Amino acid sequence: MARPRSEDKRNAILSAATTVVATLGVSAPTAKIAKGAGVAEGTLFTYFENKDALLNQLYLALKHDMRDEMTRDYPAAQSVEERGRYVWERYIDWGVAFPLKRKAMSQLAVSERISGHTRAAGMEAFGEINAMIHRISSDGPLKDQPPAFVAAVMNAIAEVTMEFIEQDPKHARRYKAAGFVAFWSAIAGK
């Protein structure tokens, strides 16, 4: 008789996968992930059918974690610029607070192992944020670009901002504000 699956073990595997993918990339062996989680490699495959299933689930878990942080106490009644600033600041805060999650997400975002279905589900999780960014950019300099391009521009500016904050944390507020100005100018043209 098969043992029931433990949510704690599943979470330990995802946590270990985050660390391993952030440091070694998506080609890292599952044995390293299992060891980091404190489970046998066979146990890993009890929770995830194969490595691609694990990576796709990790991608979604990180996307949901990021979304939850970006939308906690979301100021829906504020102006679109204030909502944009709020989302920006929460994204930067998440990336700086969780550098391994951010690095793992960067690895997964460019991996061919993440399916189109998983990518779509990840984007769907950001429905309200994506709609807001689309409204902001619809009259701006990027108005004729696909939403994925606009999101990539935001991510590139955010990565630079996070890197500077990590190198010089005492000026974090300045970098966060300057990054928002660059992001807002790029998408809104203001």
How many whole angstroms from its chain centre is CA 158? 11
- Alpha-carbon gap, residue 184 to 161, rounded angstroms: 14
> What percentage of the chain carries pLDDT values higher than 70?
98
pLDDT digits (tens, 9 = 90+) for 124-159: 888 888 888 888 888 888 888 887 788 889 899 999
Packing angle, helices 7-24 and 30-37, rounded to 10: 130
What average pLDDT does range 23-28 have in this prediction? 96
pLDDT at 147: 77
- Alpha-carbon gap, residue 38 to 50, rounded angstroms: 18
pLDDT band at 4 (very low <50, low <70, confident <90, very high): low
pLDDT digits (tens, 9 = 90+) for 80-124: 889 999 999 999 999 999 999 999 999 999 999 999 999 999 988
Contact 95, 13 (CB under 8 A): no
Packing angle, helices 127-137 and 172-188, rounded to 10: 60
How many whole angstroms from its chain centre is CA 20? 16
> What percentage of the chain carries pLDDT values higher than 90?
72
- Architecture of domain 7-188 in CATH? Orthogonal Bundle (1.10)
pLDDT at 3: 57
